[in-house]
Structure 1
């Protein structure tokens, strides 16, 4: 357990990707089974300790500490596990022979009742130091947030075993913690495990942004153009009766979209964009991204959600045609086979992403500027001769997104951040003006927590503290008047109508692009500006 705690500490404090990879590789090399496999499962989110919940841990600390004092501490630190690990008090001295291993903890919790599991956690908290307490709590609650994605952990495995990461990703969903056969293969002491899972994930091919130096490469003979739809990228794989829907990072999200999985009556692997929409006589009418969000990140989906927000997939590519792997074929050949494949699919759940006709690059400039649908966020440009290659090779595929919208808004609320930002007010709510010009009022239109530098964060934090008018727990109301306040230049990708917001609008992917210290708040934009943008997009739809 001490080694796992040291790993988490170092990962949190190491910002560089290569540094994190080195830490993980060293840990896999130096740590025996099953601890290294359990640590890997915890980091990738594949370790499920069902009988310990965060609410139970909160109740546990309430037995040891005044609730108001803990609330103040939690507000300052910003992370439940870190707060408890720091404030936990025990009369029992830490003894080296009392420290359990990672394997001991997981095995004990797997066989314990809910009440027994909580008392085991309490006993271990008494036995461990602050660093190991933090690791224990992260382990049992599942909330790692240490700056390591599942993809990075798999990359570390590939580096550890000197294999291609795509080999690991294609095996992953057939493996179970603590992954001893996987580690044995990576250490060259056993054969490569067979893929035990039907319908495995195939690593996706990604694009690079199109920039000015590459404009001259784009011509109709070499590249095909498609619209870039504003949904989520998915991979659909059906094999031997098993149907899986994967996110672009390989997470199995099939449970959230049974209305798609039920119609995957094919053998093969498809690449496409998951959207929300209804079938009409003119085709599928696509909903806004806000509708799709009602379906995302859910363990279960209700009948009402299925009815209100039906999902479908707009297909881009065909990777496996039946049992035949066609990824090595040129894009245009895969496209021809996809067109035939789609004809046999349920048309209310699957359709084909159309190719966009163009003759000159200047045609694409106009198309990007004036797409025919508000859910389009730009263009995809794919080399006709390109094979389907996992990763992000430079050149075969380009994405050319629309320029973001820009408005000036006024800072009205600020909230404490989490983790390394827990001592700063780093989450900002901003507003625009509405009402008569003689008595203007501010109405919130969005919230952003990135887009600024570390130095600008310090300036923003100082402004919030020096201009606070009210406090609401971790949130502060900031002075915002026509002649006094801070104007933020906000970039965003689009707008949706929203009944939850008083303004009636919701921004897509807002971010702070500039601090306008030079601009008086009264010169910030009005709600009418956003409403006009929304009407324009709806008219285009």
Structure 2
């Protein structure tokens, strides 16, 4: 457990992507099975403990220390695991002789009854040093916020493969005699859904001790192909319009729908299976193969705003009422496999023909074809991008070379994304909350609002990025200097017509939202600028926000049959 705790601590304090990769690679190379496999499962979200709840941890610590002291400490630190790790007093009379190993903890929690879990956690907290306690609590609560995505963890896993033949272990104990080819992360993603933690067969393959696990399981995930943002000033001069197909970049979530040998699965772009959240879609699909597309809410023949889709995301189960109110569908971009044949290596033009045949032969309203946009010049396409006939449902355009193969990752050249320019409005800072990890000492999560006709502020969004480290310090100081009230971990900041901090908020779109007091929700808000120079009374009004929402929605969300 000590090595895992050290890994989490260093990952949480490291901002560099490459440094994180090296840290995890080195851990996986030297840590024995099964601990390294359980660590990988935890970091990729494949390990969870339903019987361990934050409330249980609070009860445990309040039985050891004064509850008021704990609550004050929690309010100051802002993170449950870190607070408990620091304040836990231990029990010298019952201290175990040694620290538990990661595998021991996983095995114990996997078999323990609910009533036994709190006692197990208390015993481990007694045995561990503060850093180990923090890692334990992050593990059992599933809150491993260390700035490492599941794909980045898989990338580091691919790097476990020795870089030279002399580094490769020999199962017989001698020096390696064969060279091992490098492994790309896409090779791991191809086999990932056929593996089970703690991944002994995966590491055996990476270290040259066994064959690669089979990638041919029906219903498997294919690593997605991604686009790069186009540089209008540079790229268009090098590209010929006739070489590229243009499609709308739909405002939903990228998915992969797979039906093979009776196995039906729906994956997110990162390979997470989300079939259980969309049974209405999966039950209606009827093809043999794998398609790449966008998951959207489809109502009365048109694409609904992204806010409707949000009503269905991040749910393990879904009721019939919600499915009826927010009917989901897939707008298909590409065909990856058809009738048992993998066609990713074929050119887009051929894959498109196969996709059109798949969709044309499909009945019902759950699968649609993303149309090709007709254009004859980049200028003509720019006009469509600025004022798309599909309105709020389109984030911009995709450009794909007609002769491109479907290649995992983000290759430069075959595919480009050309997003619409973001919207921006001036808002007033209203509330602030501490961040997590290396930001736990700073107020870095900011709620902002606009003026109502009554001259008061109503919240319209929350942002926690878009500023530099120096600007974060300035924002944190402003919050501390102008706090007027506290609500648990949240501070209310002075915000009046004649005094307040104006923030220019950039965002991708607006949605109507009855769950929000203002009636609107922002899509991907971020702080564009801190307007130290602007008086608070000159910030936007809710009427201006609603006018912008009406303008965004004015184009509708219908699939344009252009081309």
Q: Which residue of 1 aligns with 2:393?
A: 375
Counterpart CA distance in 2 for 1:85 and 1:198 is: 44
Asked whether the 8 Å contact 1:432–1:444 carries over to 2, the reply is yes
Alignment of 1:340 onto 2:368: no
Q: In structure 2, do the counterparts of structure 1 residues 445 and 109 end up closer, same or farther at CA, with 3 Å as the change threshold?
A: closer
Q: Which residue of 2 aligns with 1:81?
A: 81
Pairs within 5 Å for 1:84-103: 84-92=84-92, 97-103=97-103
Pairs within 5 Å for 1:453-492: 453-492=468-507
Alignment of 1:240 onto 2:255: no
Q: CA deviation at 1:121?
A: 1.5
Q: Which residue of 1 aligns with 2:24?
A: 24
SS of match in other structure, 1:183: helix
Asked whether the 8 Å contact 1:218–1:361 carries over to 2, the reply is no
Pairs within 5 Å for 1:161-240: 161=161, 162-195=182-215, 197-211=217-231, 212-240=233-261
SS of match in other structure, 1:250: coil
Counterpart CA distance in 1 for 2:127 and 2:335 is: 54
Q: In structure 2, do the counterparts of structure 1 residues 66 and 94 end up closer, same or farther at CA, with 3 Å as the change threshold?
A: closer
SS of match in other structure, 2:72: helix
Q: Which moved more, 1:109-118 or 1:264-273?
A: 109-118
Q: In structure 2, do the counterparts of structure 1 residues 423 and 238 end up closer, same or farther at CA, with 3 Å as the change threshold?
A: same
Q: Which residue of 2 aligns with 1:313?
A: 330
Q: Which residue of 1 aligns with 2:309?
A: 292
Pairs within 5 Å for 1:29-40: 29-40=29-40
Q: Which residue of 2 aligns with 1:140?
A: 140
Asked whether the 8 Å contact 1:77–1:419 carries over to 2, the reply is no
Q: CA deviation at 1:347?
A: 3.4
Q: CA deviation at 1:94?
A: 10
Alignment of 1:115 onto 2:115: yes
Q: Which residue of 1 aligns with 2:375?
A: 358
Asked whether the 8 Å contact 1:226–1:355 carries over to 2, the reply is yes
Alignment of 1:447 onto 2:462: yes
CA deviations on 1:76-110 (whole Å, 9 max, x unpaired) are 22221111111111132897952121112212222
Q: CA deviation at 1:445?
A: 1.8
Moved over 4 A (4+): 93-97
| TM-score scaled by length of structure 2 | 0.92
Asked whether the 8 Å contact 1:342–1:352 carries over to 2, the reply is yes
Q: Which residue of 1 aligns with 2:438?
A: 420
Asked whether the 8 Å contact 1:236–1:271 carries over to 2, the reply is yes
Asked whether the 8 Å contact 2:146–2:437 carries over to 1, the reply is no
Structure 2 gap ranges (5+):
162-181, 557-563
Counterpart CA distance in 2 for 1:331 and 1:170 is: 21
Counterpart CA distance in 1 for 2:99 and 2:216 is: 36
Asked whether the 8 Å contact 1:92–1:127 carries over to 2, the reply is no
Q: Which moved more, 1:241-250 or 1:501-510?
A: 501-510
Q: CA deviation at 1:346?
A: 3.1
Instruction: State the superposition RMSD in angstroms.
Output: 1.6
Q: CA deviation at 1:471?
A: 1.9
Asked whether the 8 Å contact 1:94–1:129 carries over to 2, the reply is no
Counterpart CA distance in 1 for 2:485 and 2:10 is: 38
Asked whether the 8 Å contact 1:205–1:390 carries over to 2, the reply is yes
Q: In structure 2, do the counterparts of structure 1 residues 68 and 97 end up closer, same or farther at CA, with 3 Å as the change threshold?
A: closer
| TM-score scaled by length of structure 1 | 0.96
Alignment of 1:277 onto 2:295: no
Q: CA deviation at 1:443?
A: 2.3
